[in-house]
Amino acid sequence: MPDYLDDLRLAHVLADAADAATMDRFKALDLKVETKPDMTPVSEADKAAEELLRGHLGRARPRDAVLGEEYGVEGTGPRRWVIDPIDGTKNYVRGVPVWATLIALMEAGEGGYRPVVGVVSAPALNRRWWAAEGNGAFSGRSLTSASRLRVSQVPELSDASFAYSSLSGWEEQGRLDGFLDLTRKVWRTRAYGDFWPYMMVAEGSVDFCAEPELSLWDMAAPAIVVTEAGGTFTGLDGRPGPHSGNAAASNGLLHDALLSHLAGRL
């Protein structure tokens, strides 16, 4: 099995470059913000960071494909870098520090593309999380200064902490009843949103989280971090990995209960 450590080192270099670019424009009074066709915001910093990362990858990994939120897919082949230049753009443009650059490497296999490297870098929080397939998940400021991540061992819903993004998506998809039922069964709920709940699942400070509508670039990096920390990452349909258009992440012990409640089966 490849160790992907060279790719992980490159992902850290990419994250360093993105951090510098995004922090330079964070809270800038003249930041330019547009509305995309899907009615979500995009800032000049989103576009600049993705262009920067694509440029680095074009030089360092010219044979690899790149998929990014702002500029789509470029290239073909069995290896694909998946980039979200700023996950949490709404926070970014309002000066809220909860946003991150998500960088993943996905590799083609018998079951389709799977994430094999992931870096989640949140410079305004001074936090970074990462993982490579078969090498575990870590958090710290560098590869040489890091702590191993492990999910919690909470086995019961009544003792569990549940994180989510918002209520509107669950209501729009007709899943609100199951969602609300789940919130009544757990010990604690918090709406942290975006990348952060998945990282807290990997750290063991949150026991599970879920979102009803996501894109591949939202999930590829968090998925490998959660699974390498010992957790489970699937779609709401139970399909492993980041391919279902939505996500459920847990410590594994609570995953079946999580999916059953959100599907209205309990």
Nearest CA to 118 out of 257, 217, 236, 249 is that of 217
User: What pairs with residue 3 in β-bridges?
Assistant: none
* Helix (H) or strand (E) run with residue 23 in it: helix 5-25
Q: Which residues 6+ apart lie within 8 Å of 115 measured at CB?
A: 82, 104, 105, 106, 133, 220, 221, 223, 224, 241, 242
Mean pLDDT, the chain, rounded, equals 93
Pairwise pLDDT comparison (168 vs 136), residue with the higher score: 136
Q: In angstroms, rounded to a whole number, what is the distance separating the alpha carbons of residues 215 and 204? A: 24
pLDDT bin (cut points 50, 70, 90) of residue 35 is confident
Nearest CA to 223 out of 191, 204, 245, 248 is that of 248
pLDDT bin (cut points 50, 70, 90) of residue 129 is very high
How much is the pLDDT for 36?
74
- Token look-up 């996500």 returns 247
Ramachandran quadrant class, 77 (left: phi over 0; alpha: psi -120 to 50; beta: rest): left
pLDDT bin (cut points 50, 70, 90) of residue 247 is very high
Give the amino acid at 77.
G
Q: Tell me the pLDDT tens digit for each residue of 82-118.
A: 999 999 999 999 999 999 999 999 999 887 899 999 9
Q: Which residues 6+ apart lie within 8 Å of 143 measured at CB?
A: 8, 9, 12
104, 117 in Cβ contact below 8 A? yes
Q: In angstroms, rounded to a whole number, what is the distance separating the alpha carbons of residues 118 and 79? A: 13
